[in-house]
Structure 1
Amino acid sequence: MDDQLILMGVIGKPHGVRGQVRVNVFAEDPEVLAAHTLTDRKGRQFALAWAHENVAWLSEVTQAGQRRISDRDEAAALTNVELFIPRSALPEAAEEEFYLADLIGLRARDEAGREIGRVGNVLDFGAGASLELTPGGRLIPFTKACVPVVNVAEGYVVINPPLEVEARDE
């Protein structure tokens, strides 16, 4: 396991006038975010303390210590900041489970076993995850029907694209 950064949440709009923010959490257990130092894309570090459901206090973590975000304007400036933790901080996935980030880089095979590319990215725009295959950028819905086999240990997924995707690729 490496120290790849895993997206765990996104800071939303401010809540109130004292610096609290809404946080969109991508973890099964929101407490995971409060248990770790979070990093953004610029390398800034944050600590989070839940005030109540999906609303938190944020503190910027520096070498000098933690400084709580304490006003609405400073909180508003953090809207849409993505929060990451190192992959190594996450628990091992249970048998027959995996993290979506673990799919990136896996070989993509068709049902006959022919390699058709690799998983270049996992995207989720709110209606469910899709696998982006490279080369070509083809999007495959990440459902059991379209991706019937995921074998992280052996490094591949089996792709059975829906007819709409096959027709567009021809």
Structure 2
Amino acid sequence: MLLTVAIIGGPHGLKGEVRLDLRTDDPQRRLAEGSVLETEPADAGPLTVVRARRSAEATYVIFDEARDRTAAESLRGVRLVVESDEDEDDDDEGWYPHQLVGLRAVHVDGRELGTVADLEHLPAQDVLVITEPDGAEARVPFVAELVPAVDPDAGTVTLDPPRGLFAADPADDDESVADDAEDAGGRP
């Protein structure tokens, strides 16, 4: 299984440096000087890291195979990929999309909510994309409070989402509004 280390962005300067959209939690190892990375599409690589640097806002790399701005521009959108290590699949510090896609999403009360379609890596946090049975998509922040359990062996992700996050569980359905009004001593 191939894992995406980064997606190459636009060139930075004139000497072939490119900005990376990182998808790895170990950039020092993956982008070490001399590292050779396969690419998707395959005909864009392999690429050899000459130098990598991190600034406050981004990670930049120069590849031996792209030493000028024109060559760097031709790499825009290329994915840097590596073969999955077996020990990475057992790492509890994070999840890769291939480990989660296809798992059944189950509510803590046992209801089926749908199927995991993707894991999006956003700047603030990762988000699970769940395809609901009716085809709608829900996005659930991948935090312990909302995703208390992930069990790949059982094929499930257990969720405790707030009402309204899923189309099948609206926040303001008529029944709950009527119940709330009656509980408060008012009329429905």
When the two structures are superposed, what TM-score results if normalisation uses the length of structure 2?
A: 0.71
Distance 1:16 1:90 in 2: 38
Distance 1:154 1:82 in 2: 31
Distance 1:57 1:122 in 2: 28
Give the structure, 1 or 2, with the largest relative contact order (CA under 8 Å, sep 6 or more): 1
- For the Cα contact (< 8 Å) 2:37–2:80, is it kept in 1? no
- Residue 124 of structure 2 is matched in structure 1 by 127
Total equivalences in the alignment:
157
From the two aligned structures, give the one with the greater strand fraction: 1
- Residue 148 of structure 1 is matched in structure 2 by 148
Distance 2:167 2:21 in 1: 36
Unaligned stretches of 5+ in structure 2? 54-58, 171-188
Distance 1:130 1:83 in 2: 22
Q: How much is the aligned-residue C-alpha RMSD, in angstroms?
A: 2.4
- Residue 13 of structure 1 is matched in structure 2 by 10
Q: 1:58 to 1:159 in 2, by over 3 A?
A: same
Distance 1:158 1:127 in 2: 22
- Residue 64 of structure 1 is matched in structure 2 by none
- For the Cα contact (< 8 Å) 1:104–1:122, is it kept in 2? yes
Task: Among all aligned residue pairs of Structure 1 and Structure 2, give the percentage whose two residues are the same amino acid.
Answer: 29
Distance 2:50 2:101 in 1: 31
| Residue 56 of structure 1 pairs with residue 61 of structure 2 | yes
Q: Deviation of residue 134 (structure 1)?
A: 1.6
In terms of Rg, which structure is larger? 2
Unaligned stretches of 5+ in structure 1? 60-67
When the two structures are superposed, what TM-score results if normalisation uses the length of structure 1?
A: 0.77
Distance 1:98 1:126 in 2: 15
- For the Cα contact (< 8 Å) 1:48–1:56, is it kept in 2? no
- Residue 137 of structure 1 is matched in structure 2 by 137
